[in-house]
Amino acid sequence: MAAGTAESDVGAGAERPRRRAPRFVLASPAWLLFIFFFAVPVLFIFWYSFGYKPDIYRTIATDQLSFDRYVESFSDTFRTVFSGTLQISIVGTILCLLIAFPFAYWLAVKVPPRWRGILLGLTIIPFWTNFLVRTLGWLILLQPNGALSGIMQDLGLIGSPLDVLDTREAVQLGVIYNYLPLMIFPLFVALDRLDPALREASKDLGANRWDTFRQVTLPLALPGVIAGLLLVFIPLTGDYITAAVLGGAKGNMVGALVASQFNTAQNWALGSAMAVILILMILGSVAIFAVIGLIGRAIVRRRRRVEIEPVTA
C-alpha cells in the first residue's frame, strides 16, 4: 500500500526502476465505497421512481415502468410543500449569509489575533453540539410560558405569551440557527486569507472604506461566499428534522414527505419519485444560482474594463 505513495513522479523512478501501482489504486477503497454504497443505491431510487405499489402489503413493483409517480407527486399538497421548502431554504441561506458575513469579517479582521483562536474555538462549540439537541434548545426557548416569552412580555415587546412554535417562522429561525456555522467557517477562512496589505493599498490609493469593501474584500472573499451558500443551501433543503421539532404540522418539508412514504405509507415508488424531484430541485437551484453568478461576474468585468481602459490607453 505504501509502496505507491511516497514515490515521486520524477525523482526516484529513474534510479531504481520498480513496478508501480496504477495511479488510482490508493483511491480504490473510496471508489468501492462510493460506487457500491452510494452510486448504485441512488440509481435504484431512480429506477424505483418509475415503479408502483402493487398492493397494501408490498412496497414496490417494477414490472411496469411509468412516469405516473411523478404525476402523482405533483399533487396540490406536494406543490405547496415543495414551494414552502424552497422558500424556507432560499430565505434561510440568504439570511445566513447576511448574518455570517459581518460576523466572519469581525472575527477574521477586527478581533486582535491573540483572541482570534479562542473566539473561533467558541464558534466551533455549537457546530459540535448535536444538531437535534440544539434544536430542542429552541423548543425550550420558544415555549409560550417559557423564560424568553416572559422577558419579552415584561419588556412590553409582545402583549401576549410568545406564540411562534409550530409556525413557519419557527422553522425559519431554526434552520438559520442550525446552518449558520456552515456559513461562518468558509467565510472566515476566505477573509482570514486576505492579506491586510491589499486593504491598506486600496486605502492608500484613495479608496474609502465602502469602495475597498466592494472592490477588494468582497471579490476576494467570493470563493468563501460561494462555498458557504452551497454548504448551507444543500443540506437545508433536504432537512426535515428542524421542521419536525419546531414546525409541528405546519413545518412540512419535502424531506418529511419522502420519509413518510417510506416510514408510514410504505409506498417506495412514490417516495423515490419525490426524492428524485428533491435532487432535481437542489441541482436546478444551484444551476440557476451559478448562471446568475456568472452573468453578474461578466457584467461587473465589462463595467470594470470600461473604467480601466482610458487609464492604460
Partner 1 sequence: MSAVTERRHVRRDPVNALLGVWGIVVFVFLFLPILMIVIYSFNDGRALVVWKELGIRPYVDALDNPTIRNAIFTSIRAALGAALIATVCGSLAGIALARRSGRWTIGFLALLFLVLVTPEIVDAISLLIWYVRIGGPFGPDNDILNYGLFRLWVAHSIFATAVVTLIVRARLAGLDEALEEASADLYAPPAQTFRKITLPLMMPAVLAGALLAFSLSLDNTIISSFVSTANASPWPVYVFSSLRSILRPEIAAMSTLVLLLTLFALALVAIVLRRGGQSGEEAAAMIVGVEAAPK
Question: Which residues ranging from 103 to 162 are in contact with partner 1 (CB under 8 A)?
Answer: 103, 105-107, 110-111, 113, 116-141, 143, 145-146
Site residues for partner 1, 52-91, by CB under 8 A, read none
Does the footprint of partner 1 cover residue 164 (CB under 8 A)? no
CA distance 171 to 175: 6
Q: Which residues contact 99 (CB under 8 A, 6 or more apart)?
A: 176, 180, 183
Record the cell numbers describing residue 175, joined without a space. Answer: 434552520
Does the footprint of partner 1 cover residue 284 (CB under 8 A)? no
Nearer of residues 13 and 296 to partner 1, judged by Cβ: 13
Please identify, among the stretches 73-81, 203-211, 291-299, 304-312, the one whose residues bind partner 1 according to the rule CB under 8 A. Answer: 203-211
Please identify, among the stretches 152-160, 232-240, 294-302, 305-313, the one whose residues bind partner 1 according to the rule CB under 8 A. Answer: 232-240
- DSSP states along 241-260: HHHHHHTGGG---HHHHHHH
Please identify, among the stretches 50-58, 69-77, 215-223, 266-274, the one whose residues bind partner 1 according to the rule CB under 8 A. Answer: 266-274
Contact with partner 1 (CB under 8 A) among 37, 58, 157, 222: 37
Does the footprint of partner 1 cover residue 305 (CB under 8 A)? no
Question: H or E element: which one contains 267?
Answer: none
Minimum CB separation from partner 1 for residue 102, in Å? 5
Minimum CB separation from partner 1 for residue 137, in Å? 3
**Angle at the Cα of 129 from the Cα atoms of 124 and 130, rounded to 5 degrees:** 140
Contact with partner 1 (CB under 8 A) among 51, 181, 228, 247: 181
Record the cell numbers describing residue 189, joined without a space. Answer: 477562512
Contact with partner 1 (CB under 8 A) among 81, 234, 243, 270: 234
CA atoms within 13 A on the CB side of 137: 12
Q: Taking the CB of residue 100, how many other CB atoms lie within 10 A of it?
A: 27
Minimum CB separation from partner 1 for residue 67, in Å? 19
Please identify, among the stretches 21-29, 71-79, 155-163, 292-300, the one whose residues bind partner 1 according to the rule CB under 8 A. Answer: 21-29
149-183 core/surface letters (b: 16 or more CB in 10 A; e: else) = beeeeeeeeeeeebebbebbebbbbbbbbbbbbbb
